[in-house]
Chains A and B, each alone.
Chain A
Amino acid sequence: MDLARVIGCIVATQKDQSLVGCKLCVIQPIDQDLNPKGSPLVATDSTAMRGEGEIVYYVSSGDAVPTGPEGRKMPVDAAIVGIVDTVDYKKEYLPK
């Protein structure tokens, strides 16, 4: 799982059946200091509560498949699974 910031939303009418009712957003992956890392990507939102600017964590590749309602399979490779309240870490525990 990785941290990301929600930076936008996407509307799509024509889509795979299993994605109906599912929110799509643009997220920017961030590092532990909340600085942008890598390029933005599209993710579904299984929490359905995210707002723009919020810090979230997401799962990627095959792990994002069972994130539909009631564990339903969805054809996605990135899915937001939670909203972050706080992030704490000790600098000395980071790999050098």
Chain B
Amino acid sequence: MLLGKVVGTVVSTQKDPGLTGYKLLVVQCVDIDMKLTPVYVIAADAIGCGMNEMVIVVQGSSARIAERTKNKPVDAAIIAVVDSVDTHGKRVYEKFQHN
């Protein structure tokens, strides 16, 4: 799974009928120091998250296992909103400080 920040939304009218009602979000991936990288993913929102939130994106066929995206034509889905990240014993991200 990837860690990333929600940086935008995608609006699309003409689409596969299976995608009706889904919120599509632009997620910019972050590296281990929580710095933004130039990698973007368009992911279907499976939990209800908002702009600037740090999220976990699941890719590939696993994206179709989440409750809200079951059997839908998606290959990237947001499955969790991150509260905090600790690496090497140090807190590198905390949701309520960054917002």
Q: Which residues of A contact B87 (CB under 8 A)?
A: 7-8, 26, 40
How many contacting A-B pairs (Cβ < 8 A)?
106
Could you say which of B3, B47, B59, B88 contacts A15, with CB atoms under 8 Å apart?
B47
Stretch of B5-13, B15-23, B78-86 contacting A (4+ beta carbons < 8 Å): B78-86
**In chain A, what residue has the closest Cβ to B31?**
A39
Q: Is the interface of A mostly helix, strand, loop or mixed?
A: mixed
Q: Please give the number of chain B residues whose Cβ is less than 8 angstroms from any Cβ of chain A in the complex.
A: 35
Q: Which chain A residue lies CB-closest to B89?
A: A52
* B85 proximity list for chain A (CB < 8 A): 8-11, 26
Which residues of chain B in 55-88 are interfacial with respect to chain A, using CB atoms and an 8 Å cutoff? 56, 58-69, 77, 79-88
Q: Give 14 A-B contacts (CB < 8 Å), ordered by A residue.
A: A7-B87, A11-B82, A14-B47, A16-B79, A18-B65, A26-B3, A61-B60, A61-B61, A61-B62, A62-B60, A62-B61, A75-B46, A76-B65, A77-B59
Q: Which residues of B contact A (CB under 8 A)?
A: 1-3, 31-32, 46-49, 56, 58-69, 77, 79-89, 92
Q: A residues near B, CB below 8 A?
A: 7-19, 24, 26, 28, 39-43, 52, 61-62, 64-65, 73-78
